[in-house]
Structure 1
Amino acid sequence: MTSSSSEKRSSNHEGSSDGAKIVVDIKGNVKSPGIYTMRVGMRISQAIDSAGGFLSSADQKQINLAQKVTDEMIIYVPAKGEIKSSPAVMNAGQSSSGVNTESTLNSNEKSNGGQTVNLNTATKEQLQELTGIGPKKAEQILQYREEHQSFKTTDEIKEVGGIGDKTFESLKDSLSV
């Protein structure tokens, strides 16, 4: 099913006890792709289960099943042998058409290649590819992201210790949320 007009509900009740809901778009090699309502705090593994699980053609090694889902996240499960040209998880707004937002499945570009790094989905290694960001600064960015749930805007990175206006100016074209 590829219709985005039908919203499916997660039957898994694990996650945040506050009952807050988020909506994710699950695509690719799952049994029932579509739009799913999940509870805050749930993991990608639970989202995949809600979509009926993986197809036999799915390349599960490209998916971080432990990552928490976020509202408007796109979870794309590639096929075995599919070239991983982009992350398996995207936040809202990311698309191969150049619309930008995670996690996760477009090319999250890096500053050294004219591409952008998504502050909400980038790994420590991806952050370190940014000009002027070393292991310690990357760790601080990840800690900030964890403590604040996510970055709302790219300039919010200035809240991370040691990243001021000057550093932000040199990074802003390499960042996305």
Structure 2
Amino acid sequence: MKRALLFLLFVFCLCFAYWNRYQPVSLDLVAPTIKKAEIKGEVNKPGIYSIKWEATIQDLIEEAGGLTEEADVQNLTLLENVEPDSTIMIPSSKETAHLISINSASKEELCRLHRIGPAMADRIIAYRQEKPFSTLEEIMNVKGIGPKLFEAIKNQISL
């Protein structure tokens, strides 16, 4: 009987010592600190880089050794945060030299686009005077420009 009481006392002390000692940790609250992103085009060392979670496109460019002399970052927002597992393409100034800006092109320049005539150019100009284009896809809001026409001109236009 004495042994049984000692055993129960030991078990009680053991349980009391470990009671509320360990608390589960929720892994949902742990935020990642790094992410991977790929950078291509006119940078000195294109590739996939591990960057800080709050890194911007400028930080990714610096990680890739900086820009080449032919880089054109006019249409990039360098302070924009890089999305995880995204690809950033730095275009060449040679590639963008022939692109027509839908936010600043004249009527004659817009008429050089495939299947864009004077009437359509006037509609594009009228639309951008109300609100400048923020994305290339927004040009499909102009009456008469649908997905097929956008596909035909998207490689000829820039913001």
Question: In which range does the TM-score fall when normalised by the shorter chain?
Answer: 0.3 to 0.5
Q: Which has the higher contact order (CA 8 A, sep 6+)?
A: 2
* TM-score, scaled relative to structure 1: 0.38
* TM-score, scaled relative to structure 2: 0.42
